[in-house]
Structure 1
Amino acid sequence: MVSIKDVAKYANVSVATVSRVLNNKDTVSEGTEKIVKEAIEALNYRPNLVARTLYKKRSSMIGLILPDITNPFFPALARAIEDKALSYGFTVILCNADGNAKKEMDYIKSLEQKYIDGFIISTSQLEVENYDQFDFPVVALDRFIKNEIPTVMANNEEGAFKATKHLMEVNCKLIAHVRGPSGVGPADDREKGFLKAVKESTIKYTIVETDYDLYTAEKVAYQLLQNNPEIDGIFAGSDLIAAGVMRAANHVGLLIPHDLQIVGFDGIQLGKMLSPSLTTIEQPIYEMGAMAVELLYKQIEKLDLEKLHYKFSTKLIKGETTKNTRGFINE
């Protein structure tokens, strides 16, 4: 195996000079740097990353903690984060917490021992006090943790308001909100937006709760539609929940959008693959993921943050689960 000493001998420089080149120090002339890099390439030298991590107390790795990787929204977020992180020279370690606080903390402690450079956290299982113990940068994504932690999220309340208003505009008379779990920030905010819209009118409405799970959402929606056959509009708390609602509607013999109109939330590819295609509220998922990485990178490099909290606007994407629509039109 080629060592750093072999590279120094080949380039006719000191080991210290090779080390400075590897660590991007400014004290090496352009000519010497070129010679060293040519030697590295000629010998196919690969630095000992473990040794460098121990020496620098940095790993060029960031942790991404997600609540449930089976929810298609989170892989879409992860893709954006990975792309942006690679551009900064970071490797992303994906941690699926499964909504389990102990599992989340175990991931954090384990990666902290490996000198992880920071975390992007998209869960809300830990107590706020837990974050005061962390000695590494953190960015909250799609969840608010506390004021001192940089946060990136969509304007969920605004998006839910748009979704509900759209159902009113297409003449729904009784609208149900099939929301996500209580205590989950985005789900709570979407209910607020829904309530704001319906309370500005005299329309009848109801709210039921489910998990962010296709089959659980299907069971909840089936019971809802069986017990309330007059419901003609549903705002689903996510596109995954909307898919469950569509399955339930099919089971009870309702035609979409003739008998029942549905709006989802997220704007993931799943919605376009459904038949009929889903009208939804689109979050700028890629931009949100990229911004989370940028905020984490600035903390790692001890750069100033222009602001701590970013809230992205949403837009209505019209599909075929609401009336008077053709294709996908941005609003």
Structure 2
Amino acid sequence: MVGMRDVAKKAGVSLSTVSLVANGTGYVSDAMRARVTDAMRSLDYIPNELARNLYRNRTNIIGIIVPTVRHPFFSSFVSALQRSFAARGMHAMLCSTSGAEKTEKEYIDMVQRRMMDGIVMAAHTQWQEDFWVSIGRPVVSLDRYLGLGIPSVCSNHEQGGRLIAEHLIATGARHVVSVGGPRSQFEDLPAGIENRTTFPSVRYHMMLERMMGEQGIPCDYVEAGEVSSLGDHAQAAHEVFERFPDVDAVVGSDLVAAYCVQEARHRGLRVPEDLQVIAYDGTFMADAAGLRLTCVRQDMDGLAERVVIRMMQLIEETPVDDELDVVPVRFVPGDTTR
């Protein structure tokens, strides 16, 4: 097996120079670097990644914690996040917390033992907000408030709710039903704390309800259960029509919206003439419902890039703004609205 000494002999340089080139540290002239890299190439030298990471006190591995990868939003986000980390030479280790009680704690233990460089937290967590700062390792959250000192990235959900409301008001909606997670998530923080929720995504529902209320348009809410309970989404779509037979506009995730289109067809309702449907996420699912769903599209690549930037800043110990980093959304007309 070819080692660094072989490279040094081939290039006619010292072992320490080969080490500097291999580890990307210290100063080496361009000419000297070219000699070393040419020698590596000609000898098919493969750097010892473990040794290099020990030298740099890095693993180049990031843990990504999500509730499930079956949901279109999380599968799309994880795909974008992996691409963004890979572009920086980092590797992602995925953890889905659905149906597994210990996985979150195992990942936290791994990052504390420096078996990975940081954690991207995109799932509901059992830990209190002071816990995440106390572990003393890089943590960035997506669509979650983990407490002061933890950088967080999310879409501009208030903008999303406003875009939906403006369209429904303009097209004469008379009774809107919004479908989302447990209503308890709307205010899961004590009184006196701004926004009072650790789930920024609920703000699009809240904005929609407020703007509909200002226009005197009924806006009801149906719970679809936890995001990982995919079977509950179909049941929630059924419940919308059972509880509110006069509904003429439904808003929910791509998955909920797709089920609502199916349910409407089974009941002989025309989409969008009798019922408007607006999806929130804008993933691949928005094009797979039989009709092209009108949607509010979250910028997966933009979210991923912002998360990765924050993570690399933490790892490299450069100053990080822990204010909420908000990514714009956009309204994409489809075949399910007027």
CA, structure 1 residues 186+249, in 2 after alignment: closer, same or farther (shift >3 Å)?
farther
**Contact preservation (8 Å) 1:57, 1:115:** no
Residue matched to 2:207:
193
Structure 2 distance, partners of 1:99, 1:262, is 31
Please give the per-residue CA displacement for 1:225-271, whole angstroms capped at 9, x wherever unaligned: 123211111111x1122112222223333221122111110111211
CA offset at residue 214 of structure 1? Answer: 4.7
Does residue 32 of the first structure (1) align with residue 47 of the second (2)?
no
Aligned match of 2:301 in 271, 281, 286? 286
Aligned match of 2:335 in 307, 320, 330? 320
Does residue 233 of the first structure (1) align with residue 266 of the second (2)?
no
Aligned match of 1:207 in 221, 225, 228? 221
Bigger shift: residues 309-318 or 249-258:
249-258
Bigger shift: residues 252-261 or 68-77:
252-261
Does residue 5 of the first structure (1) align with residue 5 of the second (2)?
yes
Bigger shift: residues 151-160 or 101-110:
101-110
Please tell me the residue identity of whatever aligns with 2:247: I
Does residue 70 of the first structure (1) align with residue 70 of the second (2)?
yes
Bigger shift: residues 82-91 or 109-118:
109-118
CA offset at residue 291 of structure 1? Answer: 1.1
Structure 2 distance, partners of 1:23, 1:157, is 45
CA offset at residue 53 of structure 1? Answer: 2.6
Structure 2 distance, partners of 1:131, 1:306, is 16
CA, structure 1 residues 178+188, in 2 after alignment: closer, same or farther (shift >3 Å)?
same
Please give the per-residue CA displacement for 1:114-145, whole angstroms capped at 9, x wherever unaligned: 53122222112132233123232111112222
Please tell me the residue identity of whatever aligns with 2:336: T
CA offset at residue 41 of structure 1? Answer: 0.9
Residue matched to 1:144:
145
Residue matched to 1:17:
17
**Contact preservation (8 Å) 1:214, 1:241:** no
**Secondary structure of the corresponding residue to residue 154 of structure 2:** strand
**Contact preservation (8 Å) 1:99, 1:125:** no
Residue matched to 1:218:
234
Residue matched to 1:326:
none
Residue matched to 2:195:
none
**Secondary structure of the corresponding residue to residue 197 of structure 1:** helix
Give the alignment of 1:303-318 within 5 angstroms. 303-305=318-320, 308-318=323-333
**Contact preservation (8 Å) 2:120, 2:140:** yes
Residue matched to 2:190:
none
Structure 2 distance, partners of 1:222, 1:295, is 41
Does residue 133 of the first structure (1) align with residue 140 of the second (2)?
no
CA offset at residue 276 of structure 1? Answer: 1.6
For the aligned residue pairs, the C-alpha RMSD in angstroms reads 2.1
Please give the per-residue CA displacement for 1:187-224, whole angstroms capped at 9, x wherever unaligned: 43222112211221111221110033553222122123
TM-score by length of 2: 0.88
Structure 1 distance, partners of 2:259, 2:5, is 61
CA, structure 1 residues 308+42, in 2 after alignment: closer, same or farther (shift >3 Å)?
farther
Give the alignment of 1:219-298 within 5 angstroms. 219-236=235-252, 238-298=253-313
Structure 2 gap segments, 5+ residues each = 186-197
Please give the per-residue CA displacement for 1:96-120, whole angstroms capped at 9, x wherever unaligned: 2227563212123235435312222
Identity of matched residues, %: 30
**Secondary structure of the corresponding residue to residue 303 of structure 1:** coil
Please give the per-residue CA displacement for 1:156-187, whole angstroms capped at 9, x wherever unaligned: 12212321332232222111111223427144
CA offset at residue 154 of structure 1? Answer: 0.8
CA offset at residue 22 of structure 1? Answer: 1.0
Residue matched to 1:327:
none
Structure 2 distance, partners of 1:265, 1:320, is 15
Count of residues paired in the alignment:
322
Please tell me the residue identity of whatever aligns with 2:220: T
Residue matched to 1:59:
59
**Contact preservation (8 Å) 2:133, 2:149:** no
Please give the per-residue CA displacement for 1:50-99, whole angstroms capped at 9, x wherever unaligned: 22333332112222222211111122212222222222221222222227
Structure 1 distance, partners of 2:218, 2:11, is 79
**Contact preservation (8 Å) 1:76, 1:286:** no
CA, structure 1 residues 259+151, in 2 after alignment: closer, same or farther (shift >3 Å)?
same
Residue matched to 2:85:
85
Structure 2 distance, partners of 1:89, 1:187, is 30
Residue matched to 2:113:
113
**Contact preservation (8 Å) 2:150, 2:322:** no
